């Protein structure tokens, strides 16, 4: 029931008194009435129905020369109801009758009757029709709100946007009439889409292509978005979509040659396997440049996407953010993200919610996204009744007040109106908007699937239903807009063109001009095995170190930090200028600051990264009195700012966003930090489908860094293990680096190495927790001004000739072993730290072990036997006999009892130092 339906029973005199009270003091009345008077009726229309612009009565009373009857109040309520709920009646479904959603729009719902239709003359000025009989007003409302577009927008709370939306809907919708040329273009794009699908279906019967049949109007829609965007200043468009319709988009929007597409279908394509394994034809990405109708050049990108449907969404947003930052000087209006969803996926996939929540956040805003839903009404085999609880698949839009336009896919002109509307909204307000194109899927989930198994009645209708081109063609011929002969000519010409392509008549691909960031990627090279034998030099100058140190230890005049921060700042200053020895946080921030001074970008996001989960980083300080933020590394005098954002409480979405950012810019150190390492479990799809296989599967290098706090300190199963075995299991072909680092200087060099290498690799760091403040986890300043990343660190304490046992280990367990080694003065036991597990530094380890002739070699880890590094070490180190010391195999990563943990840890160390 609408909030204002109670007006139908209101006493006009009481209503008048309430309005006068509102005028005297808006806050003195009920919030519902206040909203009514402010925005929904009286203020919405600006009381334009009265000559002097001042509504003074809602009853049959007079003030001066003006009267407002109770009938007029009811009509206003009716108009408001149409704006709010008529989308529930709109004719958006091309193949099914709409369910009765109880829109409450009948005359009786407003104390009106049939007799009022021709007897009541009401001002319809707000609808653009002046004073008119009620019948005319209702006809106008029906035309606007009950046609093939359902407008959902009245929940938008911003008055400026609401006013713009209403005027756009009620004025432009009435006057929208494409020109002859525009209609011919719409038909041409439909023709291309339909014939392309029909041709493939005929020539490659039974092959999977995830056709667009039933939703071909998508091609006309994307064409309209791109051209409208170009008209409004868009220079680049980035599209993310799953597989349905992807080949059609590649051919008819992106300009991929038909030759390439047909060659892949014929199985004749011979990819450059030096770039990896690739993926199926309907997953790969593509880049091109086109000329819009207005003559402007537009860059087009289609992001690669696996079968995880909506997984590409944050990748697109991160990519767009990076391009906007670097190539468009943060002018978000110049690059437009379009996310194409399926109805079942947009309603059910949690990543959609995460990305929608990002939309207006400072760290993730991309200037608004156009969400286009290809609403097939069936998800694989599941009817929408079983696929969601909400009425619409797009109801997630309401969390950010994004308008939704539901439109019938069999009405291409309405679809074009909606997407042009959406493009204008995005460019004007810089926020998200959704277009839900209700269509159908002519075949099953793929072309060899039988949909009648689960939807026999629906597919009986679909099998007889003409395609969108036929529907539109018939409409135009009946209107006399385009002769039948022209339609037949377009069809014949395009079929001939497709046959030429299949006959290998060469289609000349458009030359591609690389953008500046793309040239940067092209200047990089692919890695070689020998690149991992020794890291490049990554030390910095004393001058750079001093500049960063000054920035990290100086606060502005008048800035009042908390007492704890004052203490930390003093300690930080002492580390840099007195002790000349840096802890983990200082070494990390020094890496970031030095990269900024090198002209690189640094972007770090994650939950609470500004101070750090363990209150160690304090990259951003807050004034104790004003809460004003102070980002120390933004005061280096570098060209770039230190982009560090506390993220929303998301892993999947944020990790994907940062992967996209890193994919766009090779000169940005892009990091995501988990509060605890196993929080990355929630983003495993992103690790599996993008990070670990970016180079081999998607043919895209990526230098993203994951910081995953890891180590057994008795904090229980959820806060101990970052699951290093998962990343190691995904490791092959030098696809990424997995490390567990034990010194601040080595971490510093690992971060700088990411942008020093002549190639890019993802870096996964099992980062510390207790080691952040461990007194031994410090590095002298000279280790930062010279040197390189150390893949392996040998033992300086043991006496080589007397060593009978060598303990290979990685990460925090080293300090537990070191404590026992020093306490017991065990010079006969050497501890060797493997700082980089993948790629495994075999030659370096062998060189160190060669010092200890005849010694037993153990692998020591604090993780259970079935977790951690052990299985990977066995594969990577086949030529050595190793013995494992670890916790027993376990289903849980760690015990939840502190005393049990302490006992287990002590037992590990005892075993490691047991005398032969």
Tens of pLDDT, residue by residue over 799-818, are: 999 999 999 999 999 999 99
Which class is domain 792-913? alpha beta
Question: How far is Cα 426 from Cα 533, in angstroms, rounded to an integer?
Answer: 50
C-alpha dist (Å) from residue 353 to 399, 420, 635: 9, 25, 36
Q: Is residue 372 within 8 Å of 404, Cβ to Cβ?
A: no
907 Cβ contact partners less than 8 Å away, ≥ 6 residues apart = none
pLDDT at residue 446 in the model = 67
Tokens for 333? 């209006």
pLDDT of 257 strictly over 90: no
Q: Is residue 884 within 8 Å of 870, Cβ to Cβ?
A: yes
DSSP lists the bridge partners of residue 394 as: none
Q: Is residue 817 within 8 Å of 912, Cβ to Cβ?
A: yes
pLDDT of 775 strictly over 60: yes
Q: Kindly report, residue by residue over 739-751, the tens digit of the pLDDT.
A: 999 999 999 999 9
159 Cβ contact partners less than 8 Å away, ≥ 6 residues apart = 39
**CATH 3.40.50.970 describes domain 180-266+277-519:** yes
pLDDT of 174 strictly over 90: no
Q: What count of other Cβ atoms lies within 10 Å of the Cβ of residue 520?
A: 14
- Report percent pLDDT > 70 for the chain: 89
Q: Which CATH number is associated with domain 70-147?
A: 1.10.287.1150
Indicate the range of 146-155, 499-508, 735-744 predicted with least confidence.
499-508
- The ranges assigned to domains in the chain are 12-44, 70-147, 180-266+277-519, 532-785, 792-913
Question: pLDDT band for position 197 (50/70/90)?
Answer: confident
Q: Kindly report, residue by residue over 397-430, the tens digit of the pLDDT.
A: 999 999 999 999 999 999 999 999 999 999 999 9
3-state class (DSSP) for residue 799? coil
Backbone angles phi, psi at 575, to 5 degrees: -60, -45
Which residue has 């020539």 as its token pair?
203
3-state class (DSSP) for residue 343? helix
As a whole number of Å, the end-to-end CA separation of the chain is 82
What predicted TM-score, i.e. pTM, was given to this entire model?
0.90
Tokens for 19? 């309005």
> What mean pLDDT comes out for the span 315-327?
97
Which class is domain 532-785? alpha beta
C-alpha dist (Å) from residue 73 to 69, 235, 447: 7, 48, 55
Q: What count of other Cβ atoms lies within 10 Å of the Cβ of residue 506?
A: 9
182 Cβ contact partners less than 8 Å away, ≥ 6 residues apart = 416
Backbone angles phi, psi at 354, to 5 degrees: -60, -45
Indicate the range of 146-150, 276-280, 698-702 predicted with least confidence.
276-280
The 8-class DSSP code of residue 759 comes to S
C-alpha dist (Å) from residue 232 to 161, 218, 289, 315, 360: 18, 21, 17, 25, 21
Sign of CA dihedral 263, 266, 270, 275: positive
Parallel/antiparallel/unpaired status of strands 642-646 and 601-606: parallel
Parallel/antiparallel/unpaired status of strands 668-673 and 705-709: parallel
Q: Environment class of residue 273 by beta-carbon count within 10 Å: exposed (0-12), middle (13-18) or buried (19+)?
A: exposed
pLDDT of 820 strictly over 90: yes
Q: Is residue 589 within 8 Å of 583, Cβ to Cβ?
A: no
769 Cβ contact partners less than 8 Å away, ≥ 6 residues apart = 614, 709, 710, 711, 713, 715, 812
Q: Is residue 151 within 8 Å of 87, Cβ to Cβ?
A: yes
Whether omega for the bond prior to residue 839 falls within 30 degrees of 0, making it cis, is yes
Question: pLDDT band for position 40 (50/70/90)?
Answer: very low
Q: Kindly report, residue by residue over 362-380, the tens digit of the pLDDT.
A: 999 999 999 999 999 988 8
Classify 434 in phi/psi space as left (phi over 0), alpha (psi -120 to 50) or beta.
Answer: beta
Question: How far is Cα 620 from Cα 131, in angstroms, rounded to an integer?
Answer: 61
Q: Is residue 684 within 8 Å of 785, Cβ to Cβ?
A: no
Report the chain's C-alpha Rg in angstroms.
33
- Give the DSSP per-residue string, 91-137: ---SSSPPP------SGGGGT--TTHHHH-EEE-GGGTS-EEEHHHH
pLDDT at residue 823 in the model = 96
DSSP lists the bridge partners of residue 807 as: 831, 858
Question: How far is Cα 840 from Cα 834, in angstroms, rounded to an integer?
Answer: 8
> What mean pLDDT comes out for the span 834-856?
95
Question: pLDDT band for position 564 (50/70/90)?
Answer: very high
Question: pLDDT band for position 266 (50/70/90)?
Answer: low
User: Across the chain, what does the average pLDDT equal?
Assistant: 88
Instruction: Check for a shared fold between 532-785 and 792-913.
Output: yes
pLDDT of 267 strictly over 50: yes
Q: What angle do the packed helices 159-167 and 412-429 form, to 10 degrees?
A: 150
859 Cβ contact partners less than 8 Å away, ≥ 6 residues apart = 808, 809, 869, 870, 873, 882, 883, 884, 885, 886
Please name which of 149, 138, 124, 252 lies closest in space to residue 193, comparing C-alpha atoms: 252
Please name which of 154, 169, 139 lies closest in space to residue 417, comparing C-alpha atoms: 169
H or E segment and range at residue 859: strand 856-864
């Amino acid at each position: 029931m609408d909030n204002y339906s109670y007006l139908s029973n209101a006493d006009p005199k009481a209503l008048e008194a309430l309005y006068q009270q509102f005028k005297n003091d808006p806050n003195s009345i009920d919030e519902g009435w206040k909203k009514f008077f402010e925005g929904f009726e009286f203020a919405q229309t600006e009381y334009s129905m009265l000559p002097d612009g001042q509504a003074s009565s809602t009853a049959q009373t007079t003030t001066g020369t003006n009267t407002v009857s109770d009938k007029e109040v009811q009509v206003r309520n009716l108009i408001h109801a149409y704006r709010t709920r008529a989308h529930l009646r709109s004719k958006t479904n091309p193949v099914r009758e709409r369910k009765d959603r109880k829109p409450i729009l009948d005359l009786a719902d407003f104390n009106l009757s049939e007799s009022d239709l021709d007897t009541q003359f009401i001002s319809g000025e707000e609808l653009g029709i002046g004073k008119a009989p009620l019948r005319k007003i209702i006809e106008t409302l029906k035309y606007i709100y009950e046609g093939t577009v359902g407008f959902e927008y009245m929940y938008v709370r911003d008055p400026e946007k609401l006013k713009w939306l209403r005027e756009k809907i009620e004025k432009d919708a009435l006057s929208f009439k494409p020109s002859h040329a525009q209609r011919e273009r719409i038909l041409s794009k439909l023709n291309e889409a339909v014939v392309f699908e029909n041709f493939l279906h005929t020539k490659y019967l039974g092959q999977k292509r995830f056709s667009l049949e039933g939703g071909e109007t998508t091609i006309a829609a994307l064409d309209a978005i791109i051209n409208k965007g170009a008209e409004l200043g868009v220079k680049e468009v980035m599209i993310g979509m799953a597989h349905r319709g992807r080949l059609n988009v590649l051919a008819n929007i992106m300009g991929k040659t038909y030759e390439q597409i047909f060659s892949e279908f014929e199985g004749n394509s011979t990819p450059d396997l030096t770039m990896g394994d690739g993926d199926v034809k309907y997953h790969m990405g593509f880049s091109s440049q086109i000329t819009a109708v207005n003559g402007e050049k537009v860059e087009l990108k289609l992001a690669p996407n696996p079968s995880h449907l909506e997984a590409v969404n944050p990748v697109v947003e991160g990519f767009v953010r990076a391009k906007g930052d670097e190539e468009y000087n943060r002018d978000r209006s110049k690059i437009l993200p379009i996310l194409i969803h399926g109805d079942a996926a947009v309603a059910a996939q949690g990543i959609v919610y995460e990305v929608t929540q990002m939309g207006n956040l400072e760290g993730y805003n991309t200037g608004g996204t156009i969400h286009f839903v290809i609403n097939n009404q069936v998800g694989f085999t599941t009817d929408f009744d079983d696929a969601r609880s909400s009425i619409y698949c797009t109801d997630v839009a309401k969390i950010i007040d994004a308008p939704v336009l539901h439109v019938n896919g069999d009405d291409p002109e309405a679809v074009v109106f909606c997407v042009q509307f959406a493009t204008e909204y995005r460019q004007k307000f810089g926020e998200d908007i959704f277009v839900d194109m209700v269509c159908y899927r002519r075949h099953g989930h793929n072309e060899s699937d039988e949909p009648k198994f689960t939807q026999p009645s629906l597919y009986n209708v679909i099998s007889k239903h003409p395609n969108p081109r036929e529907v539109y063609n018939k409409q135009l011929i009946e209107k006399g807009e385009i002769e039948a002969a022209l339609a037949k000519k377009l069809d014949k010409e395009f079929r001939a063109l497709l046959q030429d392509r299949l006959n290998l008549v060469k289609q000349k691909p458009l030359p591609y001009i690389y953008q500046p960031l793309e040239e940067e990627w092209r200047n990089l090279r692919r890695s070689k095995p020998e690149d991992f034998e020794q890291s490049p030099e990554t030390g910095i100058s004393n001058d750079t170190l001093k500049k960063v140190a000054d920035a990290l230890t100086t606060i502005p005049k008048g800035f009042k930090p908390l007492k704890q921060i004052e203490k930390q700042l003093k300690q930080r200053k002492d580390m840099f200028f007195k002790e000349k020895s840096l802890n983990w946080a200082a070494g990390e921030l020094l890496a970031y600051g030095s990269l900024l001074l090198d002209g690189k970008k640094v972007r770090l996001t994650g939950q609470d990264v500004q101070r750090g989960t363990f209150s160690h980083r304090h990259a951003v300080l807050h004034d104790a009195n004003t809460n004003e933020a102070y980002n120390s590394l933004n005061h280096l005098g570098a060209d770039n700012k230190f982009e560090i954002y506390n993220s929303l409480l998301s892993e999947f979405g944020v990790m994907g966003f940062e992967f996209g950012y890193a994919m766009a810019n090779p000169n940005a150190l892009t990091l995501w930090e988990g509060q605890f390492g196993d929080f990355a479990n929630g983003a495993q799809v992103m690790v599996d489908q993008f990070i670990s296989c970016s180079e081999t599967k998607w043919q895209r290098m990526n230098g993203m860094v994951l910081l995953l706090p890891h180590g057994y300190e008795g904090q229980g199963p959820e806060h101990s293990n970052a699951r290093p075995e998962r990343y190691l299991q995904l490791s092959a072909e030098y696809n990424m680096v997995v490390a567990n680092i034990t010194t601040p200087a080595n971490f510093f060099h690992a971060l700088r190495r990411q942008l020093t290498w002549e190639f890019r690799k993802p870096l996964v760091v099992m980062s510390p927790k207790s080691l952040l403040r461990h007194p031994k986890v410090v590095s002298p300043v000279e280790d930062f001004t010279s040197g390189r990343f150390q893949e392996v660190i040998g033992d300086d304490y043991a006496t080589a000739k007397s060593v009978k046992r060598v303990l290979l280990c990685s990460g925090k367990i080293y300090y537990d072993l070191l404590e026992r080694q020093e306490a017991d003065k065990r010079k006969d036991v050497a501890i060797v730290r493997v700082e980089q597990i993948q790629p495994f530094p075999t030659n370096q380890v062998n060189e160190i072990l060669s010092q200890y002739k005849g010694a037993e070699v153990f692998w020591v880890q604090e993780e259970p036997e079935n977790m951690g590094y052990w299985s990977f070490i066995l594969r990577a180190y086949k030529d050595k006999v190793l013995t494992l010391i670890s916790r027993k195999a376990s289903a849980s990563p760690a015990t939840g009892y502190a005393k049990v943990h302490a006992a287990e840890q002590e037992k590990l160390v005892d075993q490691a130092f047991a005398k032969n």
